Amino acid sequence: MSRTNERQRVPEDGSREVTMVPRARPASYYGRAVLKPPVWQEDIAYYFFLGGLSAGASLLAAGADQSGRTALRRGGRLGALGSLGLGTFFLVKDLGRPERFHHMLRVAKLTSPMSVGTWILSAYGAACATAAAAEVWPAPRTRGRPARVLAVAGRPAGLVAALLAPAVAAYTAVLIADTAVPAWNAARRELPFVFTASAAASAGGLGMIVAPPDEAAPARRLAQYGAIVELAASRRLEARRELALEPYRSGEAGRLLNRASALTAAGVLGSMLAGRRSRLAAVCSGAALLAGGVYERLGIFRAGVASTTDPRYVNGG
């Protein structure tokens, strides 16, 4: 651009040497952020984790239902509803006007990932809740229509939840990528894979906690697939030397993401080495995977916030 011309200016009177006006720093307005940092709190990172966990748990529960793994099914369905409920709580809490949360349901807008997500989440929540209700209220011999309906509806509801689950795990990545936040927007190709893989790893971890080792083989495998893809996608993000991706490597976000990788790797190694034989090892590995998932989302959240507070990430320098 014309930047060089502006730096070197010859005074009109010609009395002095060429004046160099050095630009010590990249151009900015008193170093002020160009963007407004997200008004979202860490709640939103917890929601991303819990939503992903719920999605993965629904997938495990449906598979367990089909293959006759009772404990995995039960833990999966209840875990899916519990984490979804807690996640929704964080989501509503983060609104500026929580009492207006239902305004999300006035419109369906394809240009808004949050609107699309609201509808996915509503349908998924209904299916997820039905499957969980069937789990806690299963007695087919009980008199009364609700119990009979639930007894029949549990399996199809679980399947519907499992079909919608991948969308629940993936849409949140689009939600944050579709912003002006440099670190999130620049990672738009990788984030969906990080999010779904992290969901798989977390849900696998949950499965290893709620089901005995002889039932938890699918959970261990899901955790392994998820952990491998999550670690690979994170490495890829770190390997790309784009300026906007720098916050993933540095500062608080970098530390959180390193911790996430370490916990995920430890969890998956533990599950491979001892998860089959020892319930205690399975529970510890599962907990490590869950913690890894929390740190992963917290790290991504922090990286995004950091990239908005420095004008460098918007205008270069």
Partner 1 sequence: MRIAPNSLFGPVEDVAGQAGHGEHPPRMGFFTDTSICIGCKACEVACKEWNGVPEDGMNLLGMSMDNTGGLGASSWRHVAFIEQPRRLAGSDAGIAGLPVGPSGAQATAAIVESALRRAPRGGGELGTSAFAPDHVPEVPVAEGPERMDFRWLMLSDVCKHCTHAGCLDVCPTGALVRSEFGTVVVQQDICNGCGYCVSACPFGVIDRRPGDGRAHKCTLCYDRLRGGLEPACAKACPTDSIQYGELDVLRDRATARLETLRERGVVEARLYGEDPRDGVGGFGAFFLLLDEPAVYGLPNAPVVASRDLPAMWKAAGVAALGLFAAALSAFMEPREP
In 3D space, the residue among 43, 314, 38 whose CA is nearest the CA of residue 186 turns out to be 314
Q: Both tokens of residue 277?
A: 């034989």
Q: How many residues bind partner 1 (CB under 8 A)?
A: 96
Instruction: Tell me the closest approach of the beta carbon of residue 28 to partner 1, in angstroms.
Output: 6
303 binds partner 1 (CB under 8 A): no
Q: Is 237 in the site for partner 1 (CB under 8 A)?
A: no
- Distance CA(170)–CA(292), nearest Å, equals 18
- CB 207, CB 222: distance < 8 Å: yes
CB of 229 to partner 1, least distance (A): 7
Name the one residue in this structure whose structure tokens are 């080495």. 273
- Residue 315 CA to residue 303 CA, distance in Å, equals 17
Rounded to a whole number of angstroms, the minimum distance from the CB of residue 156 to partner 1 is 17
Q: How far is the CB of 146 from partner 1 (least distance, A)?
A: 30
Residues numbered 3 to 22 that lie near partner 1 (CB under 8 A) are 3, 5-6, 9, 11-12, 19, 21
> Considering beta carbons, is residue 7 or 255 the nearer one to partner 1?
7
Q: How far apart are CA 261 and CA 227, in angstroms?
A: 9
Position among 222, 237, 245, 298 found at the interface with partner 1 (CB under 8 A): 222
CA 109 to each of CA 61, 96, 99, 114, 115: distance values in angstroms, whole numbers, following the listed order: 31, 20, 21, 9, 6
Nearer to partner 1, 9 or 255 (CB): 9
Amino acid at 291: A
Least distance (Å) from partner 1 to the CB of residue 87? 15
The verdict on 250 binding partner 1 (CB under 8 A) reads no
Taking CB under 8 A as the rule, does residue 309 contact partner 1?
yes
Q: Please provide the DSSP assignment of 149-190 as one string.
A: HHHHHHHHHHHHHHHHHHHHHHHHHHHHHSSS-HHHHHTTTT
CA atoms within 13 A on the CB side of 303: 32
- 210 near partner 1, judged by CB under 8 A: no
Closest to partner 1 by CB, 150 vs 169, is 169
Q: Which of residues 25-54 bind partner 1 (CB under 8 A)?
A: 25-40
Residue (130 or 307) nearer to partner 1, CB: 307
For residue 60, the minimal CB distance to partner 1 (Å) is 7
C-alpha span between 261 and 206 (Å, rounded): 18
165 binds partner 1 (CB under 8 A): yes
User: What are the φ/ψ torsions at residue 33 (nearest 5 degrees)?
Assistant: -60, 140
Residue 287 in contact with partner 1, rule: CB under 8 A: no
Minimum separation from the CB atom of position 133 to partner 1 (A): 22
First and final CA of the chain: distance in angstroms? 15
- Tokens at residue 308, please? 């908005």
Among residues 14, 17, 18, 96, the one that binds partner 1 under rule CB under 8 A: 96
Q: Pick between residue 179 and residue 258 the one whose CB is nearest to partner 1.
A: 179
SS3 34: coil
Q: Measuring CA to CA, which residue among 80, 81, 82, 78 is closest to residue 138?
A: 78
Is 174 or 283 the residue whose CB approaches partner 1 more closely?
174
